[in-house]
Homo-oligomer: A and B are copies of this chain.
Amino acid sequence: MCGSEGLTKPEKVSTFSQENVFRIFRPSDTVRMKSYPSESQESLMSASPEAVTTSRSPAAALTGRWQPVGLGQARITGGFWAPRQLRNGEQAIPSGQGQLESAGNLHNLRLAAGIGEGEAIGPVFADSDVYKWLEAVAWEYARNPSEDLLERQRELTAIVADAQREDGYLDSVVQLRYGDEGRYQQLVWSHEHYCAGHLIQAAIAQVRCTADRGLLEVAIKLADHLVANFGDDKTVDVDGHPVIEMALVELYRETGTQAYLDLARWFVEARGHGIISNHGHEPTYFSDRVPVREAATVEGHAVRAVYLAAGATDVALETGDAELLEALKTQFAHMWATKTYLTGGLGARWEGEAFGDEHELPSDRAYAETCAAIGGIQWAWRMLLATGDAKYADAIERMLYNGFLAGVSLAGTEYFYVNPLQLRGAAHADNNRSPAHGRRGWFDCACCPPNIMRTLASLDGYLASTSADALQLHQYAEGAVAADLPGRGSVGLKVETAYPWDGAVRLTVEQTVDGPWAVELRIPQWAEGATVNGTPTEAGEYARIEREWSVGDVIELQLPMATRVVAADPRVDAVRDCVALERGPLVYAVEQSDQQADVDDLHLLPEASVASSYDPELLDGVTVLTARGRAGTGHQAGAWPFEPGRTDQVGDEVEITAIPYYAWANREVGAMRVWLPRG
């Protein structure tokens, strides 16, 4: 209905050089463009530099503030992740475009662009799925450039550009359903800023990875429209769903335009004062009960909460706001200690897709939305760069290998929206997101699939960072990492490892500079007994190896891969007297297909020893754990309630077989549990 008359089409830059591509590749993170110094950077550097240093972190002596190593400079080339990225690029992303077509997302944008006739289809935030998909295409292009990807990108970017209104406004569903007078009238639910945020993130990925400024021009026009419309002396309102905060800070980093950072900060500060309450949900749902800088925990809708926190961390980083960063440290710590699943899953509740209360972490009804794990990784990454504290890299690892990775099938094209830690055998699906359905190709609310695509495609960007004299490795993956040490030139390491199946990581210097510099290696908290070149090193910190390096020098990191039997905080009522199995970064689960007894009532013997063996044929190759357990006794005789401790019979001893949690529901969708009762 809304035509495209008068829309300015941005100039498209489709030429690029391979060299250029790799120089500017990096994920959508806390990278500041050096060509755009700003006031806030100066204030950070001079007025309160401690704001984002790490005086209380274990790694404080080693680190200052870290800069991420972007895609291209950090490269995954094999091992655990490469085939997953390959499937993402070859299967998931092309299939995603088809899903966006058939679900109507592209239809909406085309209508808004004046092409075709009809009405908007689907949820009000439909555009955002297109933008996340475009972001995935751009990152994927950085990993594996192809004309096909560029063609897909050009096609969809053109539609988006044509859908934009002349004054910069863009939201196809609002344009079609509510017209110009409907703009920003129901921000609590309209997701207009949310869509804008994902558009901006996609645009930044696109210009960084393909040098195409097409989407960036759209994003800048839209950001300028937001700047013109929101603020203390303009419209005082915030979007029900955060993400615009992260996006505007990144756009500030990309363009140097101070107004974007200012607006991001304004959106962060405006929240928590009840602007968006009284809309059917309570303020808690929208992270609107308490201002971010006063909050002591995360609450409400989990994805919203962690996206907001990630954006607030960006604001703190760029403005040198020490108080805000301290508040975010407190919130992250409280979330991690009391509201995070063993899998790193975030959000205990289906109702409101929300964080529960402290220690409310049911296994069966865990919501643990895949998008929340992604948002958690994004937040932790910013906290890591801000503080240099290894615990944030540990958190990324836990979320990445478990809560996030379970969200996608081994084939790469089916997705879990929710990621419980238990499914009972008799479960019936009563919701299209129910895990009893198994993973699905798409959803009515399809936030997760393209979010997974962009995360897998940009994963290389979470491996490493640099400081003045050091290169930090946070995640271990087969590949290579290179970075510039400021004023000294490039250093580079080759990484060889079968992690997470094997704890040996062999690093070979491929590029070096004159004089000493350091390699800093995260030793995970779980890796008690780790060694670097045979020397024991502390877990939960960065091992720093500083010397003058020659090309060909080798560092041998050994992370112990003993199986761990672990327990939860005793206040987590839902898993009282239960244990779980972990090995390396992986949380394990027992799945009905592998068991001799009913998983719903399966116990691990208290003194059971756990054996491990790698099975290259199973589930694309996994290390399997086995231990002695016993079948449950089933229900007691007679009517409940029962006498405590009465056991009518003792179940048979059985062998329990556990597989990595991420791999569950790839054979059949049956009973599964992470936490096992002892006894």
Flag the segment in A217-225, A309-317, A562-570 that touches B.
A562-570
Counting CB contacts under 8 A, is A362 at the interface? yes
Out of B430, B641, B642, which one reaches A281, CB within 8 Å?
B430
Residues in B with CB closer than 8 Å to A373 are none
Residues in B with CB closer than 8 Å to A601 are 570-571
Q: How many copies does the complex hold?
A: 2
| Contacting pair B570 A636 (CB below 8 A) | yes
| Contacting pair A356 B360 (CB below 8 A) | no
Counting CB contacts under 8 A, is A236 at the interface? no
Task: Give the distance to chain B from A367, nearest Cβ to Cβ, in Å.
Answer: 9
Counting CB contacts under 8 A, is A612 at the interface? no
Flag the segment in A134-142, A578-586, A653-661 that touches B.
A578-586
Most B-side CB within 10 Å, residue of A342, A427, A639: A639
A678 to chain B: closest residue by CB: B644
Task: Give the distance to chain B from A306, nearest Cβ to Cβ, in Å.
Answer: 16
- In angstroms, Cα B17 to Cα A645, docked, is 59
Out of B289, B356, B365, which one reaches A356, CB within 8 Å?
B365
Please judge, given known A-B contacts A350-B351, A356-B364, A600-B571, whether A641 and B429 are in contact too, CB under 8 Å: no
| Contacting pair B342 A641 (CB below 8 A) | yes
A299 to chain B: closest residue by CB: B428
- In angstroms, Cα B285 to Cα A528, docked, is 48
- In angstroms, Cα B166 to Cα A570, docked, is 65
Out of B360, B429, B571, B573, which one reaches A282, CB within 8 Å?
B429
Please judge, given known A-B contacts A424-B357, A430-B299, whether A573 and B363 are in contact too, CB under 8 Å: yes
Interface of A is mostly: loop
- In angstroms, Cα B636 to Cα A362, docked, is 20
Task: Give the distance to chain B from A346, nearest Cβ to Cβ, in Å.
Answer: 15
Please judge, given known A-B contacts A632-B571, A643-B567, whether A365 and B362 are in contact too, CB under 8 Å: yes
Interface size on A, residues (CB 8 A): 71
- In angstroms, Cα B430 to Cα A363, docked, is 21
Out of B365, B432, B677, which one reaches A349, CB within 8 Å?
B365
Residues in B with CB closer than 8 Å to A365 are 349, 351, 356, 360, 362, 365
Residues in B with CB closer than 8 Å to A640 are 337, 566, 568-569
Residues in B with CB closer than 8 Å to A364 are 356-357, 360, 362, 573
| Contacting pair A639 B571 (CB below 8 A) | no
Counting CB contacts under 8 A, is A431 at the interface? yes
| Contacting pair A569 B635 (CB below 8 A) | yes
- In angstroms, Cα B570 to Cα A601, docked, is 8
Task: Give the distance to chain B from A625, nearest Cβ to Cβ, in Å.
Answer: 15
Counting CB contacts under 8 A, is A547 at the interface? no
A300 to chain B: closest residue by CB: B430
Counting CB contacts under 8 A, is A50 at the interface? no
Query: What is the 8 Å Cβ interface bit string for chain A, positions 328-363, against chain B (1 contact, 0 not)?
Result: 000000000100001000000111101011111011
| Contacting pair B644 A428 (CB below 8 A) | no
Counting CB contacts under 8 A, is A172 at the interface? no
Counting CB contacts under 8 A, is A450 at the interface? no
Counting CB contacts under 8 A, is A576 at the interface? yes
Task: Give the distance to chain B from A246, nearest Cβ to Cβ, in Å.
Answer: 23
Counting CB contacts under 8 A, is A574 at the interface? yes
Query: What is the 8 Å Cβ interface bit string for chain A, positions 57-88, against chain B (1 contact, 0 not)?
Result: 00000000000000000000000000000000
Please judge, given known A-B contacts A362-B362, A363-B573, A640-B568, whether A284 and B430 are in contact too, CB under 8 Å: yes
Counting CB contacts under 8 A, is A422 at the interface? yes
- In angstroms, Cα B582 to Cα A632, docked, is 26
- In angstroms, Cα B285 to Cα A17, docked, is 56
Binding site for B on A (CB under 8 A): 281-282, 284-285, 289, 299-300, 337, 342, 349-352, 354, 356-360, 362-365, 391, 422, 424, 426-432, 434, 525, 540, 564-571, 573-580, 582, 600-601, 632-636, 639-647, 677-678
Can you add 4 more A-B contacts, CB < 8 Å, to A281-B430, A282-B434, A564-B641? A299-B428, A351-B365, A567-B643, A570-B635
6 closest residue pairs by CB, A with B? A566-B641, A350-B351, A284-B430, A567-B644, A357-B424, A577-B577
